Structure 1
Amino acid sequence: MKLFKSHSLVILYHVIFAVLIYGVIKTSGTVYIKKLSIFYICFLLTYCISYYFLIKKKLKIPFKFKSINLNNRISILPITSVVFILLHLLYLGEFHAISALKLNTITEVMQLRRSITAESNLLVNYIASFNIKGMIPFTLLALLILKKKKLYWILFVLGSFYVFCLMQKSYIIVILAPVLIYSLLKLKWFSLVKYCSVITTVILSLILIQNPEISKSETENEKISKINSKTKPTTSNSTIKTILIGLEKRILIVPGKTITGWFKHIPKDLPYLNGSGYRFAKFITKKEYSNYAKELYPLMYPNYAARGIKGNVNVASFMYDYANFGWKGFIISGISIGLLFIFIERLFMGRFVLKLSINTIPVFLLSSQAITTALFSGGWALMLILYFLFIKKEDFNI
């Protein structure tokens, strides 16, 4: 247990990496394992060496930071979150998840979901992302620990409805993950059941909304079966089975399959970017930013692209560095992630419960995001800053 408490983030990342490797092997065999081992070795060496010198040797940080008294200023956080939620819903002008109930095809639903961000101002998207992935989850956790029940329930109910309307299944997990993990570690079983129930309800509802063909009534299916005798009426059991199979594939296969797709098309169809694949680098290199997550979509999903559907094929963080510099990118990625984990372990030293509550989901999201995306628009850096600013030892000695 002591080993897990001291190296919990690295152990979690090993689980993630194992799932990615499983998906890669299932979809392409072992052909890309040697390349991926470059990243893994660099990551592990960086972490172990840094841990020995910076933490085990107890290197002193040359400054101290005075935190804010959270008890006196706690209302700042939920008020800010609620204001951003209401402004975003007003900006969108409709509850998209409810509007999707009127649609009949997957294509129509996917286009509606995509319009939420595609037709919004870039600044609006960034603010919403910061709120969903940083402000709301951290604030819910702080309110729960400090027992600010009224503020907590207002944000909990409004936040859950808000992310449901945005039609992204991962959002409900993102905002509730810190309080769910906290409840699990503190053995608060009623709270754990509550969060799991809300997450399950929202995800299943969105799956049904986004897949009209499996949410049709029995009467509609019977009509279809008369036209095509091979078509069987959809039952509740088959619907649940379809959902579970889809979730299993999404978790265990798709992330690794996406890595395989990037390897197959880079550099064969798309060249290495040599730095222009980083949005922030365009101000230094003066090169136009290239988003391979978007450019690879029609290559990896030509059938969807032929129907006019546009999308992104987001991939594990180390693949973005590979897309820029080839195998050298794996060295860069391994070093950067290793150092990031050391920084977080040092920041949360002695606070195992808070460390896992705040950082577990961002670590898991490294399986489908660039590290810069996870830190900035992904809200990870914001949560670390809020923790740094607001949490005092006497308030959160956990």
Structure 2
Amino acid sequence: MKEKISRFAFKHRVFIAYLGSVAWLAFAALSYALVSGKNEITSVVIVCFFSVVTFVYFGFMRVFPKQNLLYSASEKSPRGRLEGSRIYLFYILLALYVAVIAAHFLYIGRLPVLEALKEKNDISISIVRQQSYFDLPSYLRYASDYSLKALGPALLVIAYYYRSYLFFIVLIAGGFYCLSLFARVFPILLFLPTLALQFTQRKWLHFSSTLSLMAILVFAVTTVASISFRGESVNVDQPGYHIEERLVSEYWKKHAVVSSLIERAILVPGQVIGQWFNYYEREGVFEAGCGYRPVALIVGCEYVHVPTKLYSSYYPENVKQGMHGSLNAAAFMTDYANFGLAGFAIAAVLCGLLFSMSYFIYGDHLLALPFNLPLILVLMESNFFTAINSGSGWLVMTAIFFLFFRLRYK
């Protein structure tokens, strides 16, 4: 029985990881509701979504068991070395990665991290970070997204997988890029696939080293991005401070690191989901499909970027000061914003089919979970269509997986 459960968990590990993230959101929503005295209905709705998406996923797997030609059996042969055609492919992708990094900073003409260190308040620092992205032309923004969220992480884990010295070259380039843009999520996305592989393979020394390096980078970019981390006082009444002052204890005010991590991991996700519910419950009017860019193009309505719309509603003072804010929530919240509670059924179908497709593509390959973890992470704070594309770079990651692990080279 224990062996069957173990085989089942390994076979569906990508989807189980996604369910774990949904369960965490339910916990976050409940935690925020209990601390703030808000309605607990949000956590109940998320639990319902959890149940429906599970039914869709396993229902699809039962109807179409292994019928997709993309499915392949477990990898049982040795990994070998990064050589032959694959090494040339790696060189090309690495050159492209470095070229995007260079083009990014040459275009804006500065290193954002150095500029941010000169600023004296969180709003100004946020504007510096946002300008380093929004000042780019659209083609370079997409190139930056794909590089930060897919190309760099994929090259890092592939180099580690093949035990190649190129790992250190990617590490230096990726670390520099993440630090220069000083957004906390970028180091996490860079190292996440490699950490997942090291963890599942029980390479504990490698795992602890990589985790420590990621923690150092996250701490460094947090120090740049937050005045409180530089030893200066935090004014919770300033525009942009997202958690209500009464929720922050005196202890946490004195311990900015602990406060920031707990706030970001537990309270903020619960608060944001509650804000989305409250806004549309108050307005009583949903976006009717215009909250999806592809649907808006087909229907002919003006596209509504819901996170920006809600941010403007809740934090108008920040917008007046020049911030390009987004109140990002889990993918299923965009479906709710478009169609109300019925949107959760749409979200369950989309996500259930997506992870079924992922299973058919990746099969039991060792890199199945590492290559899908960024998608899972981004689905927690972006809409479905953005998450699979520029949000997590999943389409690019999957294309790279095909190039290295599904095509046969001589």
Interval of TM-score (by shorter of Structure 1 and Structure 2): 0.7 to 0.9
State the AA in 1 paired with 2:162: L
Deviates more, 1:5-14 or 1:256-265: 5-14
> Do the aligned partners of 1:53 and 1:59 also contact (CA within 8 Å) in 2?
no
Q: Take 1:270 and 1:76, find their aligned partners in 2: how far apart are those partners?
A: 52
Identity of aligned residues (%): 24
Aligned to 1:333: 347
Aligned-partner SS, 2:163: coil
Deviation per residue, 1:163-191 (Å, 9 max, x gap): 11112110011011111211222222332
- Give me the whole-angstrom Cα distance separating, in 2, the residues matched to 1:247 and 1:334: 29
Pick closer, same or farther for the CA change 1:368–1:63 going to 2, 3 Å: closer
Partner residue in 2 for 1:296: 310
In the other structure, the counterpart of 1:357 is: 370
Q: Which amino acid is 1:281 matched to?
A: V
Secondary structure at the counterpart of residue 293 of structure 1: helix
- TM-score of the aligned structures, taking structure 2 as reference length: 0.83
- For residue 175 of structure 2, what is the amino acid of its counterpart? S
Q: Is the 8 A contact 1:69 1:390 kept in 2?
A: no
Q: 1:367 aligns with which of 380, 393, 399?
A: 380
Does residue 16 of structure 1 match 2:3?
no
SS at structure 2 position matched to 1:94: coil
Mapped to 2, the partners of 1:182 and 1:24 lie a distance apart of 30
Q: 5 Å matches for 1:64-213? A: 69-149=85-165, 151-213=166-228
For residues 308 and 282 of structure 1, the distance between their equivalents in structure 2, rounded to whole angstroms, comes to 27
TM-score, with structure 1 as normaliser = 0.86
Flag structure 1 segments of 5+ consecutive residues without an equivalent.
219-236
SS of the residue aligned with 1:247?
Answer: helix
Question: 1:46 offset after TM fit, Å?
Answer: 0.7
Quick one: which amino acid aligns to residue 157 of structure 1? I
Say if 1:328 and 1:357 are closer, same or farther in 2 by CA, change over 3 A. Answer: same
Task: Supply the distance in 1 between the matched residues of 2:258 and 2:70 (Cα, whole angstroms).
Answer: 51
Give the match's secondary structure for 2:190.
helix
Partner of 2:56: 46
Unaligned runs of 5+ in 2: 1-5, 73-83, 234-250
**Mapped contact 1:38–1:327 kept (Cα < 8 A):** no
Aligned to 2:67: 59
Report if aligned partners of 1:10, 1:341 keep a CA contact under 8 Å in 2: yes
Deviation at 1:340, TM superposition (A): 0.8
Letter of the 1:261 partner, please give it.
Q
The alignment of Structure 1 onto Structure 2 pairs a total of residues equal to: 370
Task: List aligned pairs for 1:252-291, cutoff 5 A.
Answer: 252-269=266-283, 271-291=285-305
Deviation string, structure 1 residues 193-219 (Cα, Å, up to 9, x no partner): 33222211121122222222441489x
2:183 maps to a residue whose letter is Q
- Cα shift at 1:324: 0.9
Q: Distance in 1 between matches of 2:184 and 2:343?
A: 31
Cα gap change, 1:274 to 1:104, in 2 (>3 Å): same
Q: Is the 8 A contact 1:276 1:289 kept in 2?
A: yes
Q: Which whole-Å CA distance do the structure 2 matches of 1:62 and 1:108 have between them?
A: 48
Partner of 1:245: 259
Instruction: Give the C-alpha shift of residue 40 in structure 1.
Output: 2.8
Aligned mates of 1:62, 1:360 — CA distance in 2? 20
Shift of 1:61: 2.9
Distance across 2 between alignment mates of 1:256 and 1:278: 23
Alpha carbons of 1:36 and 1:182: their partners in 2 closer, same or farther (altered >3 Å)? closer
Code of the residue aligned with 1:11 in structure 2: it is I
Name whichever of 336-345 and 178-187 sits farther off: 178-187
Contact residue 252 and residue 259 of structure 2 kept, 8 A: no
Q: Cα deviation per residue 1:265-297 (whole Å; 9 max; x = unaligned)?
A: 015237211111111223211111011100101
Contact 1:374 1:380 in 2 (8 A): yes
Q: Please list, as runs of the form range in 1=range in 2, the aligned pairs for 1:217-232 lying within 5 A after superposition.
A: none
C-alpha change, 1:62 and 1:260, in structure 2 (3 Å) is: closer
The one-letter amino acid paired with 1:371 is F
